[in-house]
Amino acid sequence: MFNRVQMILGRALMLEAEDLKREEGQTVTEYAVVLGVLLVGLASIVLVLRTGISDFLTKVSAALSALIP
């Protein structure tokens, strides 16, 4: 693990001006694909945990209702 961190830091410290000027990178399409994958993942997590989330929100609602006289 230490070797990986050391290698990454070594590369970061040896950047040249040309490395910083490169305009290579992700396009809008790649960002859209990543966003789509994240949305599908989050939606699937919510679907799997929906009963737990519902129970939690019910408990919170009951606790807040108990605070109001």
Cα dihedral 4→8→10→16 (10° resolution): 160
45 is a domain residue: yes
Q: Does the residue 69 lie in any domain?
A: yes
Identify whether 15 is part of a domain: no
| Model pTM above 0.85 | no
pLDDT (tens digit, 0 to 9) for every residue of the chain, 69 residues total? 777 766 676 666 665 665 556 666 668 888 899 999 999 999 999 999 999 999 999 999 999 999 987
Residue 61 lies in a domain: yes
CA distance 9 to 16: 14
Is residue 8 within 8 Å of residue 15, measured between CB atoms? no
Domain that holds residue 36: 25-69
- Count of domains for the chain: 1
- Evaluate whether residue 9 is within a structural domain: no
